[in-house]
Structure 1
Amino acid sequence: MTTKSLRPHRDDVLLAVFSVLVGLVFWSLGIYSNGSRHFLPAWAALVPLVAVGSMELLRRTMPSLTLAVGTVGVIADQFTVGSLATVVIFTDLMYAAVVYGKPSMARRLPVSTGLITVIVTIASVAWLRTPQALLIGVITGIVSFAPALTGATLRNHREAAEAARLRAEQTALLAEMDRSQAVAAERARMARELHDMVANHLSAIAIHSTAALSIDRAETSREALGVIRENSVQGLAEMRRLIGLLRDAGAEQEAAAVPSLDGLEALLEKARTNGSASGLDFVLADERPPARALPAPVELAAYRIVQESLTNALKHAGPGTVTVRVARTDAALTVAVDSPYGDRRGPRAPGSGAGLVGMRERAELLGGEFAAGRSGAAWQVRATLPTELEAVEA
């Protein structure tokens, strides 16, 4: 315990000074509590008064010591002419011992003082055998049990308030953590959507603009500029659609804006146009059974995986055929994209690796599996997505 912690509180200093001064005034006026029941000179009553009063300085920092000294002082006061101030100070020391003392003391003092009050009452009645003997028990209860019980009640209220405050802080902390996680998850989802929607168009723009700069032929440049314009317009439309969704997250608008596997043929047609300069062709093998709807999250994830695979093929694949296969069983939807792996004659667009990360995240969020890598002369992308609604929601 540091010196600073032993420094008396300002209120305790004022209380100690005021209590001792009141006791001195009572003593000087001849106001005693014991009357003729004393064995010592009148000035002897000042000794327990000063001793007990000085303990008010330590009532917060050393409650056990102050209660012990106060108990000895109030007992010693009974052998003098007596000071009412000494008794009153002792009741405050009892109260402070319960409020500021250790938890074990706070639990023990109300019980022990209650038992002492009962024992003193019974002993007084048995010894004096007069109704007035009950007053001794009442006074004992007022001096010891009442302040201990009051202190215990206050301490219980304080501890309950502190526990409620801690629970509120923990709840607020958990809510903030949930909010942060939700924000991070939403940002990741938005990043995937932005990448998947715009990367395809920007890759085509990069490839054809490079071709227009590197091949000095008017026909080639005009064709490249046409593809660049088309992808620019489509990319701008996609960006506007996404911004509209962010501004108005209405269920009807969002549901209408989510792409589905029915748009795969149109997606491949765009890829054929964009990949013609690089010697790429695109083939779709849709092996799904007809009239069997898929959950919207599964359709969106599969569509985006195919879209990103085609974008990667436009960036990196060698001349040849890119094959897209989509199949479905009772439990899963399978997406497979095979593209030629090797050197290419046409221009390349730079890649960041974010596309593979986004495809893997989409599959894992639905409880599915994802794999991508080279196999012989082909680059293979494989994704297995569960089609059960319970699995998707989990």
Structure 2
Amino acid sequence: MTTDHHTQTTHHVVIIGGGQVGLSFALLLAHQGIRSTLIEQFCYPTISPDDDIYRSEYLDSRNTALSRRTVQIYTEIGLWERMQSHACRIDGVEISELGSFGRARLDKAAEGVESFGQVMENAWMGRQLLLAVQASELICLIDGASVVDIRQDEHSATVVFDKDGQTQEVAAPLVVACDGRDSISRNILNIGADSHDYGQVGIVGVVQTDQPHRHIGIERFSSVGPLAVLPLTDGRGDGADGTTQGYRRSVVFICKTGEESRYLEDDEYFKQTLQQVFGETAGRFVAVGRRGAYPLSKVLAHRQVVGRCVIMGNAAHTLHPVAGQGFNLCLRDAHALATMLGENIRRQPDYDLGHHANLVAYEQARQKDQKRVIRFCDTVVGSFCHPNPVMKFARNVGLIAFDKIPGIKPLVASYAMGLKS
């Protein structure tokens, strides 16, 4: 589908990649009065605001943990109101290791916050983002299009793409590529990247337990692998009243590469493994849905700006999911760039969106937040996935220290909520 745009503004950005980051960035630009053309490789489904809003599959979902800062950003652009009906807040987080003495807990009341974030299914989130983009006069959607080249000169950047067997071009002062971990744009722009294969597969799905989740997220570590269970809304509610007690939870289970088949194919084995890892912490696992498997790797681009082009999202930094920080970091990048562009336009109406020095300034300004999150993820993966008994003892002592020493929890909670950058 292609949505025509009608606008008076001359400021224009081409976005490559229409996943959650690309769609969000287009909406952030529109909030600043900047029009964009969004090019997506896959064809979007046909949806309407009048479609049934309830889930067709109770136990079939991928999901994203949204930090408080992410919720603030979507609220700022007027999108959260339409998203929040299918968001489940996180009131507390419990962290422990199977068969060990270390325990830690974050509680919203103790930290004086409304929540630590929200969990939302990707299908619902993507639907709301796409509906908002389709409704915007400042955004032109071109889906089913494959980018084949990016050219730059002194005044503009041109994206060359194939659609319906025809080669087409679109030019703008600025191109932002959000086309994922295996970014074609990154390769076209000759941006190198450091890649590390964790030798792990993330198994993602939805489970049901016999006890309500009470809006608690649980992070559990074991010899099998790290596992996270987060609260989800029920089919027609968020678990906040007597009719929707919230027995539905998302699960992210990490296993070694090559071991994923049995967890994917054997429902009973998967349930038994979850029960073994969790004990009675979450109650009994009574049902599991269809799972997806995703090889895990870390990819860090050497640069994020080349001339009039910026790479963003997983194209710039793909992280391990164990800490739930990847998408939230990407959205903070998108918000920072859109805000910078908008402020510059308001100061200088004929501002060049692709001004290289300013794009480099954006890249440098985001390095502190990016490095902090990358370091945090590496620490979690390195310390909690190490089988050495000395490391195991040290991390359990660390969990107790985290739980007992004053001043540590508020700092870590602020980082996890995306409120410090």
Q: TM-score range by the shorter chain?
A: under 0.3
Higher share in strand: 2
Q: Which has the larger radius of gyration?
A: 1
Higher relative contact order (CA 8 A, sep 6+): 2
- TM-score w.r.t. the length of structure 2 is 0.18
Which structure's residues are more often helix, by fraction?
A: 1
**Normalising to structure 1: TM-score of the pair?**
0.19
